Amino acid sequence: MPSRRALLAASTGTLALFAGCADTLGSVAPTADPASADDLASYDCPPHGTSRERAVCSQTVDPESASVYLLPSRPVADSAAAIDLTLHNDSDTDLGFNPHTWMIHVERTTGWVEIEQQSQGNGALTVAPGETHTWTFEGAVRKINETVPLDSGTYTAEIGVPDPDGDDWLSCLALVSLR
């Protein structure tokens, strides 16, 4: 019969093995190197899965033809507070949505990982035709998770708005990189 010490050692090793396989924000997989502005332009839209039927991404959008889009003030910065995210409504429709329902992803060496959403506020914001609304990237992250570290790496900030060209909702994504 195996000793308790041997069983404890075996179970601890097994737990450590499974813990290393986790693909969450706190996982052992390191953050991928931050992307340059040129690198960001080569990312797909969306760079990871989204729950909505249609997505508009900052790195691929044509502001001259898009009716709704989210743009970062700068795609690459040294701090999250230095990046503003501006939602543009160039449609003929009021956009009413909850401005606290952000989804933030970070690129790991193993792929994209969603930052855990610890909170979500209730609210209502209407962006009228021809108007904009601006948040800081850091503020968008803090609306869902006040404690997550914003380390060097590549991130997406995603917010859903009513699709002015359809009956569904539209994902507006901004792709940014922190050095």
Per-residue pLDDT tens over the stretch 126-141: 999 999 999 999 999 9
Give the span between the Cα atoms of 69 and 156, in whole angstroms. 14
**Percentage helix, strand, coil, to 5, in the chain?**
15, 35, 50
Architecture of the CATH domain 31-178? Sandwich (2.60)
Give the span between the Cα atoms of 119 and 177, in whole angstroms. 24
- pLDDT(40) > 50: yes
Q: Look at residue 29 in the predicted model and tell me its pLDDT.
A: 64
Mean pLDDT, to the nearest integer, of 76-100? 97
**Cβ-based burial of 13 (10 A; exposed 0-12, middle 13-18, buried ≥19):** exposed
- Indicate the pTM of the whole model: 0.83
- pLDDT(170) > 50: yes
Question: What residue segments make up the domains of the chain, in order of their start?
Answer: 1-28, 31-178
Residues 13, 15, 16, CA angle at the centre, nearest 5°? 65
